[in-house]
Amino acid sequence: MSITAQNVTKRFGAFTALDNVSVDCPTGELVALLGPSGSGKTTLLRVIAGLEVPDSGTVHFRDADITKHSARDRNVGFVFQHYALFRHMTVFENVAFGLRVRKWPEAKVRERVMELLHLVRLEEKAPQYPANLSGGQKQRIALVRALAPSPKVLLLDEPFGALDTKVRAELRDWLRRLHDELHVTSIFVTHDQEEAFEVSDRVVVLNKGRVEQEGAPMNVFEHPKNEFVMDFLGNVNKLPVRVEGGRALLGETGSVELPAKLFGANENGRTDAYVRPHELDISRTAEGGNCLLGKIVHINPAGSVVKVRLLAEDFGLMINVDLTPDRYRALALKQNETVFVTPKSARIFEADYTI
């Protein structure tokens, strides 16, 4: 069941929460709506669910225009940030709820509920109450409860927002696994780019009620369309440059040239160049000469990359560099020492784009 929102506009009084938004979720895919707070993610999800009526535009499930259908008639499964399990019902009855409403026969209810509990490895919790479950377990139950009546589509609004990092990571795996098993066309809202990129087949980046970019996660990450997407995808160095004679020169003195592809619109002006932390290297000698001096102010070696923060005093800039653990060990870096930082690549966007 594909989901298509076409030219959807939604206003709350004078405020435009969605401004001519079009989004396509192909059958069986898991699409992430990603964007900062207030960008319209939840509103779009609610329009798709039938909980909000758009001022203009349409929503289609496959070929059917369901814009005017009630939420009840859309056969949508919904998972919210807060588990919303029924506290007075056992885990079994929570999952069975949607089936009982649809008057499934008892034997079928039992079979379906146990099959789903098995899928999330929580069969033994069937007779217990939600109060006896951890946050992650509650959300796994919320997930299968939404899936129990075999909805045509599954909509998830920040489903892991209330959980700690480790449990969030586990639940991402659960969501991805359930999705691969059941292939329910799903849209989930998140403001966490790592989560969106890890779980989804496709991401839609929203900002101020508009779609900035959509595509496969890798494609969006490697080819951000504009400054907003680049910035939002996190942890990027923004370096002020002067563009002169087809070269991007850093700072007032212009002593360092950034290896950036330039657009004509930037010619002979000032702009920002964007450099991801892994696009910079650190060395003890001024290899090639095209580098800046940085004093190491902090090193965070925890994790799969070593994060080094430097102050480039000549330019008044803080710079973040990610090194592989091997490179870090080979350099034997220490806090407060001064090293050379070399940009390996940089991006400059069209000058006429404003955030």
Give me the residues that bind ligand ATP (CB under 6 A), please.
12, 15, 17, 35, 37-43, 191
Q: Between residues 42 and 137, which has the closer beta carbon with respect to ligand ATP?
A: 42
Q: Compute the distance between CA of residue 10 and CA of residue 47 in angstroms, rounded to an integer.
A: 9
**CB of 137 vs ligand ATP, minimal distance in Å:** 24
Q: Between residues 41 and 125, which has the closer beta carbon with respect to ligand ATP?
A: 41
**CB of 276 vs ligand ATP, minimal distance in Å:** 24
Q: Between residues 96 and 206, which has the closer beta carbon with respect to ligand ATP?
A: 206
**CB of 191 vs ligand ATP, minimal distance in Å:** 5
Contact (Cβ atoms closer than 8 angstroms) between residue 41 and residue 189: yes
Q: Compute the distance between CA of residue 110 and CA of residue 107 in angstroms, rounded to an integer.
A: 5
Q: Between residues 41 and 112, which has the closer beta carbon with respect to ligand ATP?
A: 41
**CB of 209 vs ligand ATP, minimal distance in Å:** 7
**Residue at token pair 């390996």:** 344
Q: Between residues 75 and 81, which has the closer beta carbon with respect to ligand ATP?
A: 81
**CB of 40 vs ligand ATP, minimal distance in Å:** 4
3-class state of residue 296 by DSSP: strand
Q: Compute the distance between CA of residue 114 and CA of residue 100 in angstroms, rounded to an integer.
A: 15
Contact (Cβ atoms closer than 8 angstroms) between residue 153 and residue 61: yes
| Ranges of H-type helices in the chain | 41-49, 91-101, 106-119, 135-147, 165-182, 193-199, 217-222, 227-232, 325-331
**CB of 44 vs ligand ATP, minimal distance in Å:** 7
- Give the pairing type, strands 3-12 and 256-258: unpaired
**Residue at token pair 């409860």:** 145
